[in-house]
Amino acid sequence: MGELVRFSVAVPEDLLAQFDNLVARRGIAKNRSEVLRDLIRDALVSEEWDDPMQEIVGTLTLVFDHHASDLQSKLDQLQHRHHEQIISAMHVHLDAHNCLEVIVLRGRSDEIRLLAESILGVKGVKHGQLSTTTTGRYL
Residues that bind Ni ion (CB under 5 A): 66, 93, 99
- Shortest distance, position 89 Cβ to Ni ion, whole Å: 12
- Shortest distance, position 93 Cβ to Ni ion, whole Å: 4
Question: For Ni ion, which is the closer residue by CB, 37 or 97?
Answer: 97
Contacts 24+ apart (CB under 8 A), 118-121: 118/78, 119/60, 119/62, 119/75, 119/78, 119/79, 120/60, 120/62
Residue 103 C-beta-side C-alpha neighbours within 13 Å: 27
**E-strand stretches of 20-97:** 54-65, 86-93
Question: For Ni ion, which is the closer residue by CB, 61 or 134?
Answer: 61
Question: For Ni ion, which is the closer residue by CB, 36 or 68?
Answer: 68
- Shortest distance, position 124 Cβ to Ni ion, whole Å: 13
- Shortest distance, position 87 Cβ to Ni ion, whole Å: 20
Pick from 92, 60, 65, 93: nearest CA to 78: 60
Question: For Ni ion, which is the closer residue by CB, 35 or 68?
Answer: 68
Q: Which residue is nearest to Ni ion (CB)?
A: 99
DSSP label of 120: H
